[in-house]
Chain A
Amino acid sequence: MIYLYAILKYLTFPGSIIRATIEHTNCRKFGIPIEDDNPLRFDDLCGHVEHELPKDLTAAARIVLRPFIFNLVVGFFILFYAAVAVFMAGDFSLVDLFLLWLGISLWSNVFPSLEDGSNYLYLARTQGKGISKAIAGFMRVGAALDTWCLSLPLALVFAYILPIIFKYLFVA
């Protein structure tokens, strides 16, 4: 499973690296020591940086949520065009295909590592309030899906659905 997991992370390496970069930046910001900052390693932390677990809910939340939001939003902007062009219009130009791959790579790397997700959920349950717990729970589920190599298929499914959502939200 780790081989498959790492291969998927390698296939979506722009998203893996960007996610790790934001995680790294936030670790620095909150004074969390980073033990290994190589996101392309062949183990279960592929696509993440290895860092100490924060004990503060704010730090844990930001380390988990900021990469999530960045990858989700930037990936959305990219896929909003690329998915429509490729899946809906069948416009298979090099630019469109590259953007589609970039967008899917971002979306398949939105979730934290299992350790970060679990730590965030623990801190949210002990220190946080309702909404924080719900978000942390969502992140923990996402981390589990990521571990089970389901993040790439899910990203593909959502990218495929995106034009349909666009069609009915903005045109209908």
Chain B
Amino acid sequence: MVSSDFENKDRNTEDFEKNENPIDNNPPIDDREEKSDTPDEETMFQGASLPENTPAENIDDDTRKELEDLARLFQEEYNKTLKEAEEKGEESEEDGSEEETLEERSETESVLNLENLCASCGVRERDLSCVEDYEYCSKCRNDMINRPVPLVSRLFKVLAVFGAVISFFLFVLSFPAIEELAEGDIAIKERRINSAINHYSSAINKFESLSSDDGLAKGYVFEKYIPKASFVKARLIDALYKNGYVTYVESYVDTYFEDRLNNPLLYRVKKLNDEAAELSQNLQKAYDIIYDDVSKRPNNLPYDDLAKKLDEMKNTPVEGESKKGETYRKVASNLYKYYIASLSGRDFSEQIAMLEEIKELMPEAYWLYGQNLASIYAKAGEKDKALKSVEELKSYNSEDPMPYAAEAAAHRVSKDFDAAIAAAEKGYNLDPDYGYECLRQKAIAQLLKGQYNEAYETMSFVYEAFLDMDSEDYFIGDMGDTYAITCLAAGKKEEYDSVVELFESYGYNQRPILADYAAGKLTIEQIFLEGKADVA
């Protein structure tokens, strides 16, 4: 039961007696708290009345009424004030716990609000002065700005610079080899096959000297599988193959790559090696068919028998041969059939047909048919075809002097001797080591021009060169016969006897054409402008 202070029986009524104004007689708050239970706030002053034991003689009716009015007024004011306080959130709780100030509560709330904390440390508030929604506090921001570069990262940077220095050093050391290699590549591009072969050979030597014991040790841990400078070696072999050095291909592959051809990186080398081996095999097989007769009776060959055997070879497939092998078999057969046809003095048209078939079968193998085809066209008087073939040959290898010899022959047969001499000189100057056929063509043109001494000088130079090279045996044949004719034409009897001695020392049977010229049965014009249009 809630009772008002005014109804409290313990209330000391003497206060009222002492104070006439009842308002001033309200007890102090502290006293009230000590002496009464907590009243209901809404009804604290409702029903307020004088205590029952208040002496009646002290309070009259008017006073009682006045006091009740005052109590009601107090209650109204109290309720009003309480309501306002609640609305403003300023009402303090009367549960006896420690009161918190508004400021403290605000701080607590902000600390508990995680969204306002630094995303890195999670302790301090974000530094919103940077950006509106910045995630980090100012301390973490400073830490992030001054974050040190990890030592490992610095080491990697040093490693890269060190690698660059090492590379530069290796590049300088390797430059001569790299330069040779690059020049070889450029030579291949420009169809200077001879130069390319020389550059590649030189590059290989230089690369190998770099990695030798007294050179730069570079740790060839993979040499078991792939040799040093393997691509340069592959290029050299490719160049040799393209230039017709088929037998060299096999020996170089054996020297450089041995049993490492199964490495996929060396696929090209293996392919070339296989092709070269198959072609060599077929060429050897065809040569074996004619060898005995050619070596024993070159001037009296059983052409029909040999041609039949070669045709058999051409038309008989070999078990297990590849598609290319079939082509090589036909090419080899035709090539040696042409050879015996040439030795037997068969018609030019027949020889041309054989060579053209080779060209059709293997156009890239210009070294098999090109020179012979151009020469036969020239000797046959088909100057245009001869010059066209010459141009084709030059496009395969611009450093080969042999096409110029064919060009000189074509001009000579058409009686344009000056053009013949010019072409021959150009060819010789292109490659003096292998241009002696050009000089022979020049000497023939000089003979036809009536310049016998000049022709002799030209062939004498060739003879001396062969002697210097200890290659007299290679001089015997077309070269020797032409030299002998120039000796006779220039009246050099001693020199003529000397060369005939050479022929005899090698068991070479003098060609009838030379004896006929010596006997005056043939003229230079007849030898070099008619019939075979040459000594052979």
Among residues of B, the one whose C-beta sits closest to the C-beta of A15 is B160
Binary flags per residue of A23-57, CB closer than 8 Å to B gives 1, else 0: 01101100111110101000000000000000000
Interface of A is mostly: helix
Whether A77 and B168, one on each chain, are in contact in the complex, defined by CB atoms closer than 8 angstroms, is yes
Please pick, from B167, B226, B265, the residue contacting A99 in the complex, using a CB distance under 8 A: B167
Count of A interface residues, CB-CB < 8 Å = 47
Cβ contacts under 8 Å, A25 to chain B = 149
Please pick, from B164, B220, B231, B234, the residue contacting A77 in the complex, using a CB distance under 8 A: B164
For residue B203, give the distance in angstroms from its CB to the closest CB of chain A.
Answer: 8
What is the CA–CA distance of A96 and B233 in the complex, to the nearest angstrom? 18
What is the CA–CA distance of A80 and B167 in the complex, to the nearest angstrom? 8
Segment of B169-177, B294-302, B419-427 in the binding face: B169-177
Cβ contacts under 8 Å, B233 to chain A = 90
Segment of A125-133, A137-145, A151-159, A164-172 in the binding face: A164-172
**How many B residues are at the interface, by size bracket?**
35 or more
With contacts A28-B149, A171-B179 known, is A81 near B167, CB below 8 A?
Answer: yes
The answer to whether B385 has its CB under 8 Å from any CB of chain A is no
Among residues of A, the one whose C-beta sits closest to the C-beta of B169 is A81
Cβ contacts under 8 Å, B326 to chain A = none
Cβ contacts under 8 Å, A102 to chain B = 159-160, 163
Whether A92 and B167, one on each chain, are in contact in the complex, defined by CB atoms closer than 8 angstroms, is no
For residue B236, give the distance in angstroms from its CB to the closest CB of chain A.
Answer: 11
For residue B230, give the distance in angstroms from its CB to the closest CB of chain A.
Answer: 4
Please pick, from A18, A32, A82, A163, the residue contacting B156 in the complex, using a CB distance under 8 A: A18
For residue A12, give the distance in angstroms from its CB to the closest CB of chain B.
Answer: 12
Among residues of A, the one whose C-beta sits closest to the C-beta of B140 is A33
What is the CA–CA distance of A31 and B150 in the complex, to the nearest angstrom? 17
Cβ contacts under 8 Å, A74 to chain B = 160-161, 163-164
Whether B144 and A17, one on each chain, are in contact in the complex, defined by CB atoms closer than 8 angstroms, is no
Whether A14 and B145, one on each chain, are in contact in the complex, defined by CB atoms closer than 8 angstroms, is no
Please pick, from A79, A80, A90, A99, the residue contacting B232 in the complex, using a CB distance under 8 A: A90
The answer to whether A1 has its CB under 8 Å from any CB of chain B is no
Among residues of B, the one whose C-beta sits closest to the C-beta of A16 is B156
Q: Which residues of B contact A (CB under 8 A)?
A: 136, 141, 144-147, 149-150, 152-154, 156-157, 159-161, 163-168, 170-171, 174, 177-179, 181-183, 185-186, 203, 207, 211, 218-222, 226, 228-234, 265
Given contacts A34-B145, A81-B170, A99-B167, list 14 more A-B pairs with CB under 8 A: A18-B153, A24-B147, A28-B146, A37-B149, A78-B163, A78-B164, A84-B178, A88-B178, A88-B182, A90-B233, A91-B231, A94-B220, A95-B170, A163-B182
Q: Which residues of A contact B (CB under 8 A)?
A: 14, 17-18, 20-22, 24-25, 27-28, 31-35, 37, 39, 74, 77-82, 84-85, 87-96, 99, 102-103, 106, 163, 166-168, 170-172
